[in-house]
Amino acid sequence: MNPMETLEKIVTDIIAPAALDTDRESRFPRAAIKALGESGLLGLISAREVGGLGGGLAEASAVVRRIAQDCPSTAMVVCMHYCATSLIEKHGSEAVRRDIAAGRHLSTLAFSEAGSRSHFWAPMSSATADGDEVVLDAAKSWITSAGEADSYVWSSRPTAGERPCSLWLVPAATVGLEFSGGFDGLGLRGNASLPVRANGARIPRSALLGEDGRGSDLMNAVLPWFAALNASSSVGLMNGALTRACAHVGATRYAHLGSSLADLPTIRAYLAKARIRADQATTLLDDTIAALAAGREDAVLRVFQTKAASAEAALYVTDTAMRVCGGAAFRKEAGVERLFRDARAASVMGPTSDVLYDFIGKIMLGLPIF
């Protein structure tokens, strides 16, 4: 059975049936993550020499898209895990890499902070060298899988020098990590997005990923993964919303007229425009992945464009799905309003759409991005 066939069974049997409760109860999708781990899909992008499936960004995108059709919360957990894994594969220990490949280890990114907010590339937290250890002090905000992941790819200021950033792989069991409360947000309610504090948390110097002070280089390496997989979640979410909307429109009839909602040209036009927006975002995402694979000159531009375009398209498409389904869309069991709420996250997730528009404009004008 190929990975996508395996994934389809997990989505059908585990992820989709639990999606309503995952959202309603802000429940972390543990059963789904366990199944993805046991199937090898958490090790999708791990190298074959450590026991992984040896996939790349295109394969990861396909997985995130499919999960997001039914549960964007689970898709975001997997998105962040793949992002973290892309760095761990290049800079982490073989032991951790093998655990990820075997599905025994879930990781995530811990970049955003209360002080610099969505400007995640400018950490305010500190890392202080103390013999063979490093002491971390930080106020991280909205870390996906907080309290659930086995490790955190953690950003801080360097222990020495003037460079802006260093990255560390911080084990979840590190003494001094504090997870604040539970997440009761508008959307993506099951992804355990929580503030995390480090109060004198001690980690070994060997936890450093790459070189001290060179964390920005690693952030630049993971940004294409984050942007493309975030866009993949938005694309999958749009497909899920349109599937549900079309099913409702086709099945709902006016008994006194003997016709269905699908017979109304206005309804069909709304759906057509939403399908165009979703397909435009999908095409841009696919071209972004192709640009990265080919090392094209426009790859950086595409990376910024795909996250912004997909995030904004998801707002339009899910709003349209709510409109054409009418009052029925307000029922939670229909799943449309959940996807409508989940779609709100991508545009405000750093780098936000507005920040990305600025980056894109600077590229167009030949200005430095930072």
Distance of CA 181 to the CA centre of its chain: 21
**Confidence check: pLDDT of 162 > 90:** no
What CA–CA distance (Å, rounded) separates 142 from 122? 16
Whole-number percent of the chain with pLDDT over 70: 97
Mean pLDDT of 11-21: 97
Count CB neighbours of 94 within 10 A. 9
pLDDT at 259: 62
pLDDT at 254: 64
What CA–CA distance (Å, rounded) separates 98 from 48? 10
What CA–CA distance (Å, rounded) separates 218 from 91? 9
- What is the per-residue pLDDT across 82-126, written as a single tens digit (0 to 9) for each? 999 999 999 999 999 999 999 999 999 999 887 766 677 778 889
**Confidence check: pLDDT of 350 > 90:** no
| Residue from 180, 192, 282 nearest 239 by CA | 282
Q: What is the mean pLDDT of the chain?
A: 94
Residue 154 φ then ψ, to 5°: -110, 130
pLDDT at 108: 98
- What is the per-residue pLDDT across 270-321, written as a single tens digit (0 to 9) for each? 999 999 999 999 999 999 999 999 999 999 999 999 999 999 999 999 999 9
Whole-number percent of the chain with pLDDT over 90: 85
Residues 288/305, Cβ–Cβ less than 8 Å: yes
Residues 62/5, Cβ–Cβ less than 8 Å: no
**Confidence check: pLDDT of 16 > 70:** yes
pLDDT at 329: 87
| Residue from 204, 178, 198 nearest 136 by CA | 198
Strand order in the sheet with 133-143: 126-130, 133-143, 194-204, 177-179
Residues 88/100, Cβ–Cβ less than 8 Å: yes
- What is the per-residue pLDDT across 129-148, written as a single tens digit (0 to 9) for each? 999 999 999 998 889 999 99
Residue 180 φ then ψ, to 5°: -95, 110
Tokens of 302: 């595409």
pLDDT at 152: 98
Complete DSSP assignment for 2-33: -HHHHHHHHIIIIIHHHHHHHHHTT---HHHH
Q: How does residue 36 score in pLDDT terms, banded at 50, 70 and 90?
A: very high
**Confidence check: pLDDT of 13 > 70:** yes
Count CB neighbours of 117 within 10 A. 13
Complete DSSP assignment for 33-102: HHHHHHHTGGGTTS-GGGTS----HHHHHHHHHHHHHH-HHHHHHHHHHHHHHHHHHHHS-HHHHHHHHT
Q: How does residue 256 score in pLDDT terms, banded at 50, 70 and 90?
A: low
Q: Return the H-helix or E-strand segment holding 191.
A: none
pLDDT at 253: 65
Residues 123/140, Cβ–Cβ less than 8 Å: no
Whole-model pTM over 0.85: yes
